[in-house]
Homo-oligomer: A and B are copies of this chain.
Amino acid sequence: MAKNKKIDDELHLLAARRLRAAGMRYSKSRKAIVEVLASAGRPLTLDEVLDFQSDKTLAQSSVYRNSTELVEAGILKCLASGKDHNRFELDDSIIGHHHHFVCLDCGDIEDFEVPEYLEKEILALEAELVKKGLSVEGHTLDIQGRCHQCS
């Protein structure tokens, strides 16, 4: 628990620093959103963020507005999700690069990691595209299927 506390502190310091760098404040609402996402440990829709906050005090509009801003500051990442709404999670630069298993039925997402060598080959592929003159920012490797619940 002490350990997690420490990680949390670092998370918030980092978030505060990045927002400051972008000329924004790390307000109570923004902190609450980061907190919810950190403790969920998986990508959440904005509805879920609203639901999961302990003291239901965030206004919907604040969650929408802040999620956009936190993405711009590089603290959150927005995941496309064919089904239902978009989902948000802490940025790779914070929780580390990883990939997603997406349930086709319920839309839920779980993280998983990929063998080193595979990751490297994907990076090589990116390099190829750069050679062809495209500017590359990153990649997404998702697996789709049904989660334990739904299958």
Query: Using a CB–CB distance below 8 Å, which chain A residues touch chain B?
Result: 78-83, 86, 101, 104, 112, 114-115, 117-118, 121-122, 125-126, 129, 133-148, 151
Contacts and interface: CB of A to CB of B under 8 A. Distances in A.
Contact of A148 (B112, B134, B136): B134
Given A80-B82, A82-B80, A121-B118, A144 B139 contact: yes
A78 B144 CA distance: 13
Most buried by B among A83, A143, A145: A143
Given A80-B82, A118-B121, A125-B118, A142 B144 contact: no
Q: How many copies does the complex hold?
A: 2
Given A79-B80, A136-B143, 8 more contacts: A104-B137, A117-B121, A126-B143, A129-B145, A134-B145, A140-B140, A140-B144, A141-B141
9 contacts: A80-B82, A80-B83, A115-B125, A126-B143, A134-B151, A136-B144, A137-B145, A138-B143, A139-B143
A101 B140 contact: no
A112 B114 CA distance: 21
A114 B138 CA distance: 16
